[in-house]
Structure 1
Amino acid sequence: MTNNLTALEDWTAPILNKLAPAERRNKLRQIGQQIRKQQQSRISNQQNPDGTPFAPRKGRIKRKMFTKLKQAKWMKVQAKDDIVTIGYTGRTAKIARVHQYGLTDKPSPKSRSIRYRKREVLGVNKKNAVQQTMLQHINLSE
């Protein structure tokens, strides 16, 4: 995934450098919001970035996972002069990180530690989706 993001950065940098700083921030924020919508849709469908389904829960719990994590209230988009970030903060970030990497955590202070299965809450599998989003926003501004 790092190679895809590096290639994407190399592809987008010259385009974004042609824009004024305020316009660049605005475009980056719009692109971040579009990517967030794609992530929210993928989480709603209970899929990892590569299209495989999330690892099932243990036990008899049938409701969907991450129903609150996909909300814009928790999944924040921040745009600065030359970078856009999409992610979580605080306790929400801890929950997302545990599932993202398949770490060990305690569901409550008095319970025993549990090893969670890896479920990629955030991630981009194809740079084409981001490129198309970027092209769409650039074409709208011309």
Structure 2
Amino acid sequence: MNNLLDLQAQVAGLLTQVDAPARRRLAREVAITLRRSQAQRIAQQRNPDGSAYAARKPQLREKGGRIRRAMFARLRTARYLKQRADADGAVIEFTGRVLRVARVHQFGLRDRVRRNGPEADYPQRQLLGFTEAEERMVLDLVLAHLGG
């Protein structure tokens, strides 16, 4: 988290010299690139620090012949993982009904397995967060934008 604050401090000084429409274009480019990167990392089942997501708990009843899907296959689609950008910044967020599921996994909370079903403790799986590569990528985008 300190790296992100350091990055923000470095970039903020440079961006004060740029007009609002150019900042908006840059923020949009950063948001799109970050959204794509976050979706790829979720598909790889990795936390921002590079560790693997905690494995699913074994199911009591396994349906025979069922094809198992990776966790969060629908959450990482553009329908639910959205990006927003304006002259003041860029935001990557989950929207709609999946926001609750994403929050439970992001912070490792307790939730119902299904409606009116039993409650379970979910391990923390950081869906959103900055990797070192993404921090470098943002800084490179800003520097390229300022240089060109």
Q: CA deviation at 1:25?
A: 0.9
Map of 1:134 onto structure 2: 142
Q: CA deviation at 1:65?
A: 0.5
Partner SS, residue 117 of structure 1: coil
Farther off after superposition, 5-14 or 129-138? 129-138
Map of 1:109 onto structure 2: 115
Q: Across the two proteins, how many residue pairs are aligned to each other?
A: 139
State how far apart, in whole Å, the 1-side matches of 2:144 and 2:79 are: 25
State how far apart, in whole Å, the 1-side matches of 2:77 and 2:45 are: 14
Q: What RMSD over aligned residues (CA atoms) do the two structures have, in Å?
A: 1.7
Map of 1:125 onto structure 2: 131
TM-score (norm 1): 0.88
State how far apart, in whole Å, the 2-side matches of 1:23 and 1:34 are: 17
The structure with more radius of gyration: 2
With over 3 angstroms needed to count, the CA separation of the structure-2 counterparts of 1:71 and 1:132, relative to structure 1, is same
Pairs within 5 Å for 1:7-22: 7-22=6-21
Map of 2:51 onto structure 1: 52
Among the aligned pairs, what percent are the same residue? 35
With over 3 angstroms needed to count, the CA separation of the structure-2 counterparts of 1:105 and 1:80, relative to structure 1, is same
Q: CA deviation at 1:80?
A: 2.1
Partner SS, residue 97 of structure 2: helix
TM-score (norm 2): 0.85
- Structure 1: segments with no counterpart, 5+ residues: none
Map of 2:28 onto structure 1: 29
State how far apart, in whole Å, the 1-side matches of 2:31 and 2:54 are: 27
- Structure 2: segments with no counterpart, 5+ residues: 63-67
